[in-house]
Amino acid sequence: MADQESFAPPRGMRDLEPTEMARRRWMYDKIQQVMTLYGFQMVEPTAVENLSTLEAKTGPDIKNEIYWFEDKAGRKLGLRFDLTVGMTRMVANRLDLPEPIKIFSISEMWRYDEPQFARYRHFYQWDAEVYGSAEQEADAEAICLGMDILDNLGLKDCEIRISNRKLTEGFLRSRGLESKEKIEATIRLIDKIGKLSKEQITNELRSVGLQESLIEQVMSFAALKDKPDKILAQSPQGLDDKGKQGLEELTKLAEILDKLGRIDRCVYDLSIVRGIGYYDGIVFEAYDRGGEDIGAIFAGGRYDGLCRIYGKRDMPATGVAGGIERMMLSMERAGLFPELKQPPQVFVIAVNDSVRGACWTITQSLRKQGISVDFDLKRRVMRKQLEYTDSTGVPYVIIVGQKELDKGVVKLKDMAKRTESEMTLDDAVNTIKRA
């Protein structure tokens, strides 16, 4: 048993079987359609990065959360934990590309996490990034793209929760929290609202060193969640310049989303901060209303500071990414996948060994005419071939016998109707193509 087990994928890693693969390909096509409508171009950064590249985004602690190792030459390498790092690295030194640069990728990544529901060690994301625009048009583009991807997949009932890191940080600073470490620790705790209890959050904020009155203000701030115009009307007073800029950005974004008729699916939710350190403007998370337990179905935000870490080109940037497995969970629940089973269109059966050669040439001829065909690769007797075709779900069977060959015909069997008729191969081709 121990031996057998070692021939399964490692813990948390996944093989993709034909049914899942067909669903993924269908989803990837739908996602790519929307990316193309929006003018994004596809790229794929390397899956194996230098560890220093991965650390540059989030600090050396990332080591604890990823797969990393030394190669035979002592180079420290790591498996990518997202697509944003690689995509940003790819453009950050490309001084030749005119702005904005709009790229996307759909691929796999790895995190050394404890596997749990809707969280995996090995998972796939679609990811779109806009480099070179500081305007809220770009943030709106990321949000609308996410919405349209869900729409195109049939997931029409989602809520986008939006806030702004400048507002959060400006609010904390204007309320007397000055230390960068404390601000970041507080933001990480705001990110945990909903995952931890209110008591746990309060206690943790105390450990960070926040006074009771500030804790109360933080909790009230983070509890603000309503239609964008309502939040903008009741937003905190006495903000510093950064906080005001955050509000200004949210105001502009609301104007665009309203103009585009998208505002009804958006709420401004000041508990949204995205945990990760490098976000520095609009941030958002989208939830499928049928699947809150799955977690955010897409999320993203602005990270104007990241390009200058990876290269000479100091560009503003904003983006959006979504988990493929989470989308699949939501889609399966809602029964949104079409029937994708694709057996060959026809199976060519040999009545006996003397007509095997004719079966090979018929198979080849049908394939040349664009029909997907399987034939007996096991030299089975006719009865066994028929049993096999029943299990595959092929819609048609061509039965090849010497008597029919002599007459210049084949038998075409319609598997659904259970009917059988003799016809020329050309007529069989036409029947199959028309089906």
- Residues numbered 32-61 forming contacts with a second copy, rule: CB under 8 A: 36-39, 41-50, 52-53, 56
Alpha carbons 80 and 112: distance in angstroms, whole number: 11
55/52 Cα distance (integer angstroms): 5
Q: Half-sphere exposure of 320 toward its Cβ, with a 13 Å CA cutoff?
A: 27
**Least spacing, CB of residue 358 vs a second copy, in Å:** 9
Q: Does 98 bind a second copy (CB under 8 A)?
A: yes
Report CA-CA distances (Å) from 186 to 62, 86, 132, 189, 387.
19, 28, 30, 5, 65
Q: Which region, judged by CB under 8 A, interacts with a second copy, from 14-22, 295-303, 403-411, 426-434?
A: 14-22
Q: Could you say whether residue 422 binds a second copy (CB under 8 A)?
A: no
Q: Which two tokens stand for residue 182?
A: 């404390």
Q: Does 148 bind a second copy (CB under 8 A)?
A: yes
Q: How far apart are CA 160 and CA 152, in angstroms?
A: 16
Residue 116 found at the interface with a second copy (CB under 8 A)? no
Pairing of strands 41-42, 225-226: unpaired
Quick one: 87 exposed, middle or buried, by C-beta within 10 A (0-12, 13-18, 19+)? buried
| Chain residues 246-305 in contact with a second copy, contact rule CB under 8 A | 255-256, 259-260
Q: Which is nearer to a second copy, 73 or 416 (CB)?
A: 73
Find out whether 152 and 30 touch, Cβ atoms under 8 Å: yes
Q: Which is nearer to a second copy, 360 or 426 (CB)?
A: 360
Q: Which of 180, 333, 379, 403 binds a second copy (CB under 8 A)?
A: 379
What minimum distance in Å lies between the beta carbon of 198 and a second copy? 33
Which member of 27, 79, 218, 296 binds a second copy (CB under 8 A)?
79
* Options 263-271, 283-291, 341-349, 404-412: segment touching a second copy (CB under 8 A): 341-349
Closest approach of a second copy to the CB of residue 319, in Å: 13
Structure-token pair, residue 27 = 């989803």
323 contributes a contact to a second copy by CB under 8 A: no
CA angle 108-196-119, nearest 5°?
15
The nearer residue to a second copy, 121 or 326, going by C-beta atoms, is 121
C-beta of 45 vs 146, nearer to a second copy:
45
